[in-house]
Amino acid sequence: MLSERALEEFRGRGYVRLGKPFTDGEIREIADAYDEVLQSPLRLGEQGKGTFEYVPLLQLRSSVLRRYATSPKLVAPMIELLGPDVRLYWDQAVSKPPGATSDVPWHQDNGYTPVVPEEYVTATLALDRQTVDNGCLWIQPGSHRASTRPHKKTDFFFRVGYDGPEIGEPVELDRGEVLVFSSLTLHRTGPNRTDEPRRSWIIQYCHGHARHRDTQVLFDDRLLVAKDGRPLDAPYRDRPFDFVRLVRYAAGVLAPR
C-alpha cells in the first residue's frame, strides 16, 4: 500500500519510487527471461551515435515476464494511482549496453500514442544499477501538470516534447528498484559511458476504460489486471490483441523518418 506521502509525491512531482518489490531471486529470474527475449532486438538511436537495444511487448513473448508484469506487487500500487480497474497497457525493454551513446530526448509517454484519460502510469524496473554515467532517467518534476504537450517528430524514431533550457534532475536507481511516473511527466535518458550494461524493463498501466484519443477504440485488447479495486488472479483481455491496428499505427506514426 502506498503511503499518503508517496501519493502526494506522485501527484505533486509526477513520479515516486516504489522501492524493491521483488526479491533478489525474482530479479534474477526476470533478468534471465528479459535477456532471452532481447536476443534479437531493434537498434535505435540518434544518427551518428551508438545505438541502444529495444524490444516491445515482452509480456506477450514470455510467460515469466507476463507473470511479473501482472503481479500484485506492481498492480496493487496502480490501483491506488489509477483507480479500481487497471489494464496492462504496454511494456518494453530498453537496454543501453556499453557504447550506447545516443540520448532519448525529452518527451511524455502520452506524446507518442495519445490515450484518454491522458494520464496513465509508467513503471521502470532497473535490472542493473542506473546512474548518471550509464544513462539513467532524468525527469522534470511537476511537468505533468501541463497536460500533453505538442511533440515534434524527428528523423531518428523519437519524438521531442521539450527543447528548452530546463535540465531536470537525474533519478538514479539500484538494481531491482522500481520508479513510477505519470505519462505526462517529461523525461529523458542519457548515454551509457561505462563498461557495464544498463537494462530497464518499462511496464505501463492504464485505466480499465482507456481508449485511443484519435480512433476512440478501447484498449480492451490489453490485459485487465485489476477489477473493482482488486488485482486479478487470472488477468484477461476482452478481445485478441490487435496486432494489425498496432502495426498500421506504428508504420504511419512511429517509423523512423
Three-class DSSP category at 183: coil
Give the pLDDT confidence score for residue 161 in this predicted structure. Answer: 83
Give the pLDDT confidence score for residue 242 in this predicted structure. Answer: 81
Mean pLDDT of 35-48: 91
What spatial distance separates the first Cα and last Cα of the chain, rounded to whole Å? 44
Cβ-contact 191, 53 below 8 angstroms: no
Instruction: Give the pLDDT band (50/70/90) at residue 247.
Output: low
Share of the chain above pLDDT 70, in %: 95
Mean pLDDT of 150-167: 83
Q: What is the pLDDT of residues 71-120, one digit of tens each?
A: 999 999 999 999 999 999 999 999 999 999 999 999 999 988 889 999 99
User: For the chain, which residues make up each domain, given as ranges?
Assistant: 14-252
CA distances from 101 to 140, 162, 244 (A): 22, 20, 33
Give the pLDDT confidence score for residue 255 in this predicted structure. Answer: 35
Q: What is the pLDDT of residues 14-39, one digit of tens each?
A: 999 999 999 999 999 999 999 999 99
How far is 176 from 26, CA to CA, in rounded Å? 9
In a 10 Å sphere around its CB, with 0-12 CB exposed, 13-18 middle and 19+ buried, how is residue 234 labelled? exposed
Q: What is the pLDDT of residues 172-208, one digit of tens each?
A: 999 999 999 999 999 999 999 999 999 999 999 999 9
Give the pLDDT confidence score for residue 250 in this predicted structure. Answer: 53
Cell reading at 95: 537496454
Q: Which fold has domain 14-252?
A: Jelly Rolls (2.60.120)
Which residue from 187, 257, 201, 212 is spatially nearest to 71, judged by alpha carbons? 201
Cα angle value 120/173/202 (rounded, 5°) = 35
H/E segment holding residue 57: none
Q: DSSP for 14-29?
A: SEEEEE--S-HHHHHH
H/E segment holding residue 46: none
Cβ neighbors of 156 (< 8 A, separation 6 or more) are 44, 45, 46, 47, 256
pTM exceeds 0.85, yes or no: yes
Three-class DSSP category at 85: coil
pLDDT of residue 47 exceeding 90? no
Counting other chains too, the contacts that 39-43 makes at CB distance below 8 Å and 24 or more residues apart are 41/93, 41/95
Of 139-143, 166-170, 236-240, 245-249, which gets the smallest average pLDDT?
245-249
H/E segment holding residue 182: strand 178-182
| Mean pLDDT computed over every residue of the chain | 92
pLDDT of residue 168 exceeding 50? yes
